[in-house]
């Protein structure tokens, strides 16, 4: 994928035309972005939206993107599963992944004929970095006959060696589906140890785990959650299943990033704490201004590599293209498509902790 990218900043002026052209966009983020800050974002928003049309590109934005990206330049927003589904069906010739590298690779695997760009190649993931294809081959030797379920937060190599992928929104359904299909009562689940342990609590299938962790979610502690409850009476606690099981046990609800957003929309709690990456609360606060957000968030340094200047640079230069070896891509695609074919029972899609 070439050389290390820089942090690109282009001098763009906040002119009266830009202010006019971006008035509607600003209305989408006015609750969480002050006007003085908008003057910095607006010229990029205008230019990105113009270039996107010219280049027949779509921007897929993960729920952890900052609000000016999430609401003002993206064409599709969602959790890992929703973004994978969208990548499989978009007609656009160019996909810009406003997310991390494994997401861009998944898009390329599903749409090999398209140009997939990641605005910053440094946007990695501690989970994806915790395991290789060779590790999966060794696990299969150690546990012959057991299927391997790999989190979508993995490299194409790892996906290629796995029977099926999963995300946080379909993990229980995928584990049960592959166990039924292979006629086994145990599966190997990599690389997120905590996600695997949280899934194991919701199914009779036994799970062999790997010791990978999300560097953002592993930092939350059960004690911290108890402290937030004590300091904010009545607060509803939502936790991502990448958190350690004792943290999830303290929560009122656990689910994927989109499932957490859905919970706020459906229940409209007065006060909520989202035990996950920081930008989630900003994005949901914009959508539900009547809800008060307590914010003990942790930043994902990888997600935060993606900025408006980096996205503009990606569009202007058509970089950085994400390529996957076609032989690996073909095998990885089978694991991703097998996941996409699994039906998620409503109860499993958003299970209370
Ligand atoms: P979901 O958006 O699928 O819940 O996953 C979160 C994540 O790991 C993104 O980094
Ligand atoms: Fe990876 Fe965690 Fe960042 Fe998601 S939040 S990209 S799982 S390090």
CA 246 to chain centre: 22
Beta bridge partners of 302: none
Instruction: Give the pLDDT of residue 352.
Output: 37
Ligand 1 pocket member 257 (CB < 6 A):
yes
The answer to whether residue 2 is domain-embedded is: no
Candidates 153, 170, 261, 302: which one to mutate for ligand 1, based on the most atoms within 8 Å of Cβ?
153
Ligand 1 pocket member 63 (CB < 6 A):
yes
The answer to whether residue 10 is domain-embedded is: no
Instruction: Give the pLDDT of residue 348.
Output: 54
Atom of ligand 1 nearest to the CA of 300: 10
Ligand 1 pocket member 256 (CB < 6 A):
yes
Q: Do 117 and 21 share a structural domain?
A: yes
Ligand 2 pocket member 246 (CB < 6 A):
no
The answer to whether residue 200 is domain-embedded is: yes
CATH code of the domain containing 237 = 3.40.50.10800
Tens-level pLDDT at each residue, the chain (353 residues):
455 577 887 889 999 999 999 999 999 999 999 999 999 999 999 999 999 999 999 999 999 999 999 999 999 999 999 999 999 899 999 999 999 999 999 999 999 999 999 999 999 999 999 999 999 999 999 999 999 999 999 999 999 999 999 999 999 999 999 999 999 999 999 999 999 999 999 999 999 999 999 999 999 999 999 999 999 999 999 999 999 999 999 999 999 999 999 999 999 999 999 999 999 999 999 999 999 999 877 999 999 999 999 999 999 999 999 999 999 999 999 999 999 999 988 655 544 33
CA pair distance 49, 53, nearest whole angstrom: 7
3-state secondary structure of 298: strand
Q: Do 314 and 267 share a structural domain?
A: no
Q: Do 97 and 51 share a structural domain?
A: yes
In angstroms, what is the span from residue 57 Cα to ligand 1's centroid?
23
The CA angle 23-28-34, to the nearest 5 degrees, is 80
Q: Do 284 and 158 share a structural domain?
A: no
In angstroms, what is the span from residue 350 Cα to ligand 1's centroid?
14
Candidates 153, 190, 298: which one to mutate for ligand 2, based on the most atoms within 8 Å of Cβ?
153
Q: Do 148 and 80 share a structural domain?
A: no
Q: Do 196 and 63 share a structural domain?
A: no
The answer to whether residue 318 is domain-embedded is: yes
Torsion over CA: 97, 99, 101, 104 (sign): negative
The answer to whether residue 261 is domain-embedded is: yes
CA pair distance 207, 122, nearest whole angstrom: 32
Domain of residue 107: give its range: 16-125+302-322
In angstroms, what is the span from residue 13 Cα to ligand 1's centroid?
35
Ligand 2 pocket member 126 (CB < 6 A):
yes
In angstroms, what is the span from residue 194 Cα to ligand 1's centroid?
13
Phi and psi at 2, nearest 5°, equal 90, -165
The answer to whether residue 1 is domain-embedded is: no
Which residue's CA is the closest to the ligand 1 atom numbered 4?
256
Contacts 24+ apart (CB under 8 A), 261-267: 261/63, 261/287, 262/350, 263/238, 263/350, 264/238, 264/288, 264/291, 267/236
Q: Do 339 and 277 share a structural domain?
A: no
Which residue's CA is the closest to the ligand 1 atom numbered 8?
153
Q: Do 204 and 231 share a structural domain?
A: no
CA 283 to chain centre: 14
Q: At which residue do the structure tokens 């993931």 appear?
A: 125
The answer to whether residue 3 is domain-embedded is: no
* 336 sits in which H/E element: helix 326-341
In angstroms, what is the span from residue 11 Cα to ligand 2's centroid?
31
CA pair distance 339, 175, nearest whole angstrom: 10
Q: Do 22 and 103 share a structural domain?
A: yes
Q: Do 336 and 286 share a structural domain?
A: no
Find the ligand nearest to 80 CA: 1
Based on the structure, what is the number of domains in the chain? 3
Q: Do 107 and 131 share a structural domain?
A: no
User: 137-171 burial, b for 16+ CB within 10 Å, e for fewer?
Assistant: eebbeeeeebbbbbbbbbbbbbbbbbbbbbbbbbb
Q: Do 82 and 176 share a structural domain?
A: no
């Amino acid at each position: 994928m070439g050389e290390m990218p820089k942090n690109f900043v282009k001098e763009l002026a906040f002119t009266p035309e830009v202010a006019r052209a971006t008035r509607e966009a600003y209305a989408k983020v006015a609750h969480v972005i002050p006007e003085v800050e908008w003057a910095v974002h607006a010229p990029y928003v205008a230019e990105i939206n113009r270039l996107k049309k010219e280049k027949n590109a779509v921007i897929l934005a993960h729920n952890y993107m900052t609000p000016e990206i999430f609401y003002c330049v993206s064409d599709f927003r969602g959790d890992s599963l929703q973004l994978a589904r969208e990548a499989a069906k978009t007609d656009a010739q160019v996909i810009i992944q406003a997310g991390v590298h494994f997401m861009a690779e998944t898009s390329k695997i599903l749409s090999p004929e398209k140009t997939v760009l990641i605005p910053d190649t440094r946007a990695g993931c501690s989970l994806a970095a915790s395991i290789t294809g060779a590790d999966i081959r060794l696990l299969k030797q150690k546990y012959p006959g057991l299927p391997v379920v790999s989190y979508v937060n993995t490299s194409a190599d790892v996906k290629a060696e796995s029977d099926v992928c999963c995300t946080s929104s379909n993990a229980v359904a995928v584990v049960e589906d592959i166990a039924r299909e292979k006629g086994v009562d145990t599966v190997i689940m990599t690389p997120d140890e905590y996600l695997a342990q949280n899934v194991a609590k919701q199914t009779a299938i036994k799970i062999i785990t790997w010791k990978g962790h999300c560097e953002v979610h592993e930092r939350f502690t059960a004690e911290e959650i108890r402290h937030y409850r004590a300091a904010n009476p009545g607060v509803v606690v939502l936790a991502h299943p990448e958190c350690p099981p004792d943290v999830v046990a303290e929560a009122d609800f656990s689910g994927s990033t989109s499932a957490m957003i859905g919970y706020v929309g459906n229940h409209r709690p007065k006060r909520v704490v989202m035990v996950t990456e920081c930008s989630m609360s900003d994005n949901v606060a914009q959508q539900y201004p009547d809800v008060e957000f307590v914010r003990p968030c942790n930043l994902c340094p990888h997600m935060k590599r993606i900025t408006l200047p980096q996205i503009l640079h990606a569009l202007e230069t058509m970089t950085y293209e994400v390529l996957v070896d076609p032989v690996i891509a073909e095998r990885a695609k089978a694991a991703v498509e097998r996941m996409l074919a699994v039906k998620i029972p409503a109860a499993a899609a958003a299970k209370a902790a």
